[in-house]
Structure 1
């Protein structure tokens, strides 16, 4: 189904739960995981028939699952929950396996190029996409049993790191390391100080320095509150581990000895000093920068309680995150076991430090760490201070609306007047909002909703959205909808679009400056659109209408831009003056006709 902006793919398969998307830039493919199926889409021509792998569970396994009482909503299928690139020719894929997780390898290479002798032409290489026979192994610690439970994963140097529930009942949560040559590792089992009924959201490798041994893997999740102060029922977390963590020698054997976590705050301070918290982390996007050690972190949060419905986007810097992880540890003491900052002696090396790194060059393994370091880590995995967003306030806030933000993707766009970051925010009502936030001179910001696209009824300027009901492809820009006037195009303030002299079209930095008109920051068409006069209907058109005395009519004008204002003016007989007719929203007006005409005037400023 296509709406001009969104193209929805149902694939005509008897399946659902299209949740996992994985881009393959080497092969220009996108892989989609659903119930019992893995699909491969051509990014050059998304309308081409996809390559399909059918990977169901055996009838015997499905029967066993149903008999265990786990098929109330069709859970006894093989829900694909992990698609990771193994090498240039294979993927590593895992599914829930009807409450018996299973993994295997998928060949995603190309057939050799062949020559048709009778045509003397070469065929294009055909893609290979099939399961490798006899390669299935257990998915425990890699993929959840229950398809309703969230999991995250990262395959790094042949080792799989996963945040996952690893038991049939869904009670044992862990950050797990499997595959590779090193020992299997996990978080301390059934220790609520480490993980307290978490819901995993995202995982990302972020280097700490130029020393590879300092590399850390960051996990983003939300979990039940551990009772630190007057805390909400749910807390958002950022946790981290060292990639070269081997566990302890006597204590924490085969368990992380560098795991630390901190709270992520996304809140709006009130006039009375009380903060309104958006407690539940829903999604995270890591925006790369030229400095790989310092990406920008965007988080989508919602409200955990039922007092009101709301969501927000907060932005975090790695400098603030590292400062918290280098700060005091949380410690329980006193008669009521209250959380306080630990003020005792910190053992060396500092808990959470990676072996062989900048500060521990002589320690090759965490097994070399003193027992006091390992014991301290086991009892103090939480940092006392919380991580606050940049400027200590959200970038975007939505309250008292009938939807919540659920997902986020950010695109960096080069426009005529600078670089801008465009936010694509998915909502729980099946739409995507395209939002830009502009800085102002008074240290405030201005939020512009460029458009909102209904999705369900990035690469190469394409956005893909996955949901339980299917996959939808969205265009990042629709410049043609902003009308046929220079002013409309400028007022849209869309960094993807500019007036090229004839139409509103995709902005290109390679164009000559005199032939492009764009002003994202201020949206001033008077300054930008000089030379495009109204006689050619390319700037600010006026329409004259006349009526019969005593009658009424409905005057309507559609604004091409969400940031344009439309005004109606009365022009009386024998007068050169116009008087504005003030309506509720400047768009519609019902008016009685007397002995004067009415001129419709489209104002070139913003509302």
Structure 2
């Protein structure tokens, strides 16, 4: 399959892309991996090699899996949400459409992503050889500054040759928690937004997760306690017996509302739903 791009974020000197694609480095049959890629914002391509092609493009695999002697992998990224205040990227991962339905939410710190990009590459000498770890010639790479002659002025033939073959990182980006924050079988999650709520003694990340059949799961993560997750409720938006995929989610903080995009309409839901829960006296 062609790369399926999920999202992009401008962070510092880089633009980060989140995607899923066929795993070229996987030796046994076809499988899909989820990736994070990055490129310098001032990358305008090479001078005599890689003209009109990025020279700073790198990508690494994202791991979202259920731990065990044989881990269960959620390989296909569906949605992301970036919390710049926490340097966290939340992501929805699912199994392949031809597999048993299962979904999970994992969170990744930007420091873990940078660690993978500073590690060794994985490359192959020719199209028939095995992909093997390769030393990173610039293990702490930083984007160059734009001078009068342009950002590619310092590129050498060797650096451009390296850029042609060294773009896939060897190390996998690991999530913040050993197991996913949220896991559910027999359902496919589709979209995700995260709200930050200050409690009496800790900070909470409230996740709103849409499903393929038109409900929204509300779950809680506590970043001050090693980022553990738990379910709060499942919101039924459609009449009984009606199933319709949710296409988008958006939080309007000024209104404390969640907007839900369906095929031909938009629903507005208050983020605070205290009236739903009855207090016993």
TM-score, L = length of structure 2:
0.86
Contact conserved, 2:44 with 2:54, CA < 8 A, in 1? yes
Contact conserved, 2:121 with 2:169, CA < 8 A, in 1? yes
Structure 1 equivalent of residue 132 of structure 2: 340
1:203 paired to 2:8 = yes
The one of 35, 39, 44 equivalent to 1:246 is 44
- Stretches of structure 1 lacking an aligned partner (at least 5 in a row): 1-195, 208-214, 486-537, 539-607
Structure 2 equivalent of residue 447 of structure 1: 230
- Measure, in 2, the Cα distance between the counterparts of 1:249 and 1:300: 39
Change in CA separation of 1:333 and 1:250 when aligned onto 2, cut-off 3 Å: closer
How well do the aligned residues superpose, as a CA RMSD in angstroms? 2.8
How much does 1:369 deviate?
A: 0.8
How much does 1:445 deviate?
A: 3.9
The one of 349, 354, 357 equivalent to 2:143 is 354
- Measure, in 1, the Cα distance between the counterparts of 2:227 and 2:48: 54
How much does 1:391 deviate?
A: 2.7
How much does 1:331 deviate?
A: 1.1
Change in CA separation of 1:202 and 1:427 when aligned onto 2, cut-off 3 Å: same
Change in CA separation of 1:204 and 1:434 when aligned onto 2, cut-off 3 Å: same
- Measure, in 1, the Cα distance between the counterparts of 2:201 and 2:29: 43
Q: CA deviation digits over 1:113-139, x for unaligned, max 9? A: xxxxxxxxxxxxxxxxxxxxxxxxxxx
**SS of the residue 2:164 aligns to:** helix
How much does 1:307 deviate?
A: 3.8
Contact conserved, 2:204 with 2:223, CA < 8 A, in 1? no
Structure 2 equivalent of residue 266 of structure 1: 64
Q: CA deviation digits over 1:519-544, x for unaligned, max 9? A: xxxxxxxxxxxxxxxxxxx1xxxxxx
**SS of the residue 2:43 aligns to:** coil
Structure 1 equivalent of residue 160 of structure 2: 374
- Measure, in 1, the Cα distance between the counterparts of 2:29 and 2:270: 41
How much does 1:305 deviate?
A: 5.5
1:546-557 maps to which residues of 2 (within 5 A)? none
Change in CA separation of 1:322 and 1:455 when aligned onto 2, cut-off 3 Å: farther
Structure 2 equivalent of residue 322 of structure 1: 114
- Measure, in 2, the Cα distance between the counterparts of 1:383 and 1:250: 25
**SS of the residue 1:411 aligns to:** strand
Contact conserved, 2:118 with 2:140, CA < 8 A, in 1? no
Contact conserved, 1:461 with 1:476, CA < 8 A, in 2? yes
Change in CA separation of 1:338 and 1:473 when aligned onto 2, cut-off 3 Å: same
How much does 1:231 deviate?
A: 7.7
The one of 91, 103, 108 equivalent to 1:299 is 91
Q: CA deviation digits over 1:483-530, x for unaligned, max 9? A: 143xxxxxxxxxxxxxxxxxxxxxxxxxxxxxxxxxxxxxxxxxxxxx
- Measure, in 1, the Cα distance between the counterparts of 2:38 and 2:201: 38
How much does 1:362 deviate?
A: 11
Of residues 273-282 and 463-472 in structure 1, the stretch that sits farther from structure 2 once superposed is: 463-472
- Measure, in 2, the Cα distance between the counterparts of 1:334 and 1:251: 19
- Measure, in 2, the Cα distance between the counterparts of 1:444 and 1:261: 25
How much does 1:352 deviate?
A: 6.0
Change in CA separation of 1:363 and 1:314 when aligned onto 2, cut-off 3 Å: farther
**SS of the residue 1:311 aligns to:** strand
**SS of the residue 1:378 aligns to:** helix
Structure 1 equivalent of residue 80 of structure 2: 284
- Measure, in 2, the Cα distance between the counterparts of 1:263 and 1:397: 20
How much does 1:472 deviate?
A: 1.6
Structure 1 equivalent of residue 247 of structure 2: none
Contact conserved, 2:120 with 2:139, CA < 8 A, in 1? no
How much does 1:397 deviate?
A: 0.7
**SS of the residue 1:240 aligns to:** strand
How much does 1:448 deviate?
A: 2.5
1:177-216 maps to which residues of 2 (within 5 A)? 197-207=2-12, 215-216=13-14
Change in CA separation of 1:231 and 1:462 when aligned onto 2, cut-off 3 Å: farther
1:148-547 maps to which residues of 2 (within 5 A)? 197-207=2-12, 215-230=13-28, 233-270=31-68, 273-289=69-85, 295-304=87-96, 306-333=98-125, 337-343=129-135, 346=137, 353-356=142-145, 364-399=150-185, 401=186, 403-438=187-222, 445=228, 447-454=230-237, 458-459=251-252, 460-485=255-280, 538=281
- Stretches of structure 2 lacking an aligned partner (at least 5 in a row): 243-250
- Measure, in 2, the Cα distance between the counterparts of 1:227 and 1:277: 17
**Which one scores higher on RCO, CA 8 angstroms, separation ≥ 6?**
2
**SS of the residue 1:338 aligns to:** coil
**SS of the residue 1:390 aligns to:** coil
